[in-house]
Amino acid sequence: MTIDIGRFSEAPSTDVEEPADTAAGEQKPPELVYGSAEEFLHEQLLPTYVRSVDGRSAQWCMEWYFHPEAVSRIEALWRAWEHLRLDGSTGMSVWWKDHADHHMNVLLDPRGPFHKCDMKAHRDPEPLEPKKAPEGWFPDVRTQPG
């Protein structure tokens, strides 16, 4: 079985190397390969990051999108991939080492965000509900003079 992971190895198109100028004189950002984190998850990440998910050494929830931490991490993986795929020298290695391996180890950890779920049933996550710090301990820096 061969899985196409060549998107990293494709040389950037000429419009990526020499972006067209916009009317305001800004460079046009490179086009995204994937339109959403979900598309990236199904089309790139899961087909290439294959692991045995048995509930003991690895855990996943089929309704991953109900887990805010998972959504945030998958979004981060997608955005990092879109950026690093443009680096033809070490981009793929950096993405795997610094992003995919790190976030997927957290996501798949049996004590991770899917710890109450299994491959058959989703269970809503219970967010931590810490107490608020006393008034004034963490002033809003947006309202402080520069």
List pLDDT tens digits, range 58-116: 999 999 999 999 999 999 999 999 999 999 999 999 999 999 999 999 999 999 999 99
Nearest to 80 by CA among 68, 95, 96: 95
Residue 112 lies in a domain: yes
Residue 135 lies in a domain: no
DSSP 143: G
Residue 137 lies in a domain: no
Residue 103 lies in a domain: yes
Based on the structure, what is the number of domains in the chain? 1
pLDDT tier, 24 (very low <50, low <70, confident <90, very high otherwise): low
Residue 25 lies in a domain: no
Q: Are 77 and 69 in contact (CB under 8 A)?
A: no
Report which of residues 94 and 3 the model is more confident about: 94
Instruction: Report the residue count for the chain.
Output: 146
Range of the domain at 88: 37-46+56-121
DSSP 141: G
Residue 145 confidence (pLDDT): 82
Q: pLDDT digits over 42-60, tens only?
A: 999 999 988 888 888 999 9
Region for 139 from its dihedrals, namely left if φ exceeds 0, alpha if ψ lies in -120 to 50, beta otherwise: beta
Residue 141 lies in a domain: no
Burial category of 77 from C-beta neighbours within 10 Å (exposed 0-12, middle 13-18, buried 19 and up): buried
Residue 9 confidence (pLDDT): 41
Residue 145 lies in a domain: no
Residue 70 lies in a domain: yes
